[in-house]
Amino acid sequence: MQMSELSELIADVREQVLFLQELGVDALDVRLPEAEGERVDSLQMVAEAVVFEKAPPPADIGLPKRPTETVKRGGSRIASLPSLRSRTPVQNNIMPKPTAAKPADEPVKVDAPPEPAGSADTIGSIRAEIGDCTRCKLSQLGRTQIVHTTGNFQADLMFIGEAPGADEDEQGSPFVGRAGKLLTDIIMAMGFQREQVAIGNINRCRPPANRKPEPDETAACRPFILREIAVIKPKVIVVLGATAAHNLLQVSTPISRLRGTFQDYFGVKVMPTFHPAYLLRDPHKKRDVWEDMKKVRDLLES
């Protein structure tokens, strides 16, 4: 193997390892093949060797830097954070490039017509129209409160999930439970602060026992997130999990086939990927999500 190929490989492994470490994965029980008579016992050993012995410190390899500023969550502090539109791009020239592009599935054709947004819409006017909503039966099935989209409403990057869970229903914000903590880690691993992106759900009320929203419930609530997309005008939407992807894109393709390929949703790039709650059950899928998020990050920086 050429030295340049080896360097690229090490850089790629190092980036993967750093991401997994960001997400709290300390060790993966992955057996690697023997190489030239010397057995490497685990990916963790490779990680330690690459990160701590052979490689320069992470700050020198061009990974996106986390802002050092301490950010308070919530309240007026959010409004003073910069939009992603004005974010200084990370140093593309030294960013390790993926070594092997995975063949992508063809983009899925979206059959649903765009739902028109009122030209006078604002996030505030949409919320006012939602009001104390009883448009679907989820309003009668034990919700504590309606969970609206939060974050930066001028962001280039938006995350959309399926519906609030128990923590979100209690706190009134999307993605604040364990899965939400993991989503925050993913956002930060991409080089952003959570408050720099917009985060919402297709359904705004918690379904009982965390069941999937039913078609009539999604049909009642979906127009609001579509109108918010029209107001926010994100450059990229990351749609989290099969249910959200199917309900947003109006397709039934399995998420395992949808993920990893940008879908064109009437001019907005949509990257379907696994839901953070799924990653909590199957941490090995974090690598797939990181591959998807690298594509999103690269598109935002292009």
Close Cβ partners of 45 (under 8 Å, ≥ 6 residues apart): none
DSSP string of 275-301, one letter each residue: -HHHHHH-GGGHHHHHHHHHHHHHHHH
Does 217 sit near ligand SF4 (CB under 6 A)? Answer: yes
Tokens 């057995």 belong to 39
Q: For ligand SF4, which residue of 11, 51, 146, 155 counts as binding (CB under 6 A)?
A: 146
Does 239 sit near ligand SF4 (CB under 6 A)? Answer: no
Tokens 């001019």 belong to 267
If binding means CB under 6 A, how many residues of this protein chain bind ligand SF4?
A: 14
Does 212 sit near ligand SF4 (CB under 6 A)? Answer: no
Q: Which amino acid is at 119?
A: S
Does 221 sit near ligand SF4 (CB under 6 A)? Answer: yes
Question: Is residue 139 within a helix (H) or strand (E), and if so which, with residue range?
Answer: none
Does 108 sit near ligand SF4 (CB under 6 A)? Answer: no
Does 228 sit near ligand SF4 (CB under 6 A)? Answer: no
Nearer to ligand SF4, 126 or 189 (CB): 126
Residues in the chain: 302
DSSP letter at 199 equals E
Q: For ligand SF4, which residue of 152, 196, 203, 243 counts as binding (CB under 6 A)?
A: 203
Closest contact distance (angstroms) between CB of 201 and ligand SF4 is: 9
- Please, where are the H alpha helices in 172-285? 178-189, 215-232, 242-249, 255-258, 276-281
Q: For ligand SF4, which residue of 11, 51, 78, 136 counts as binding (CB under 6 A)?
A: 136
Does 205 sit near ligand SF4 (CB under 6 A)? Answer: yes
Tell me if 34 sits within 8 A of 74, measured CB to CB: no
d(CA 244, CA 183): 15
Longest dimension (CA), the chain: 69
Q: For ligand SF4, which residue of 204, 259, 269, 275 counts as binding (CB under 6 A)?
A: 204
DSSP letter at 93 equals G
Question: Which of the stretches 44-52, 203-211, 239-247, 250-258 binds ligand SF4 when contact is defined by CB under 6 A?
Answer: 203-211
Question: Which of the stretches 41-49, 59-67, 133-141, 262-270 binds ligand SF4 when contact is defined by CB under 6 A?
Answer: 133-141
Closest contact distance (angstroms) between CB of 165 and ligand SF4 is: 14
Where does this chain bind ligand SF4 (CB under 6 A)? 130, 133-136, 138-139, 146, 203-205, 217, 220-221
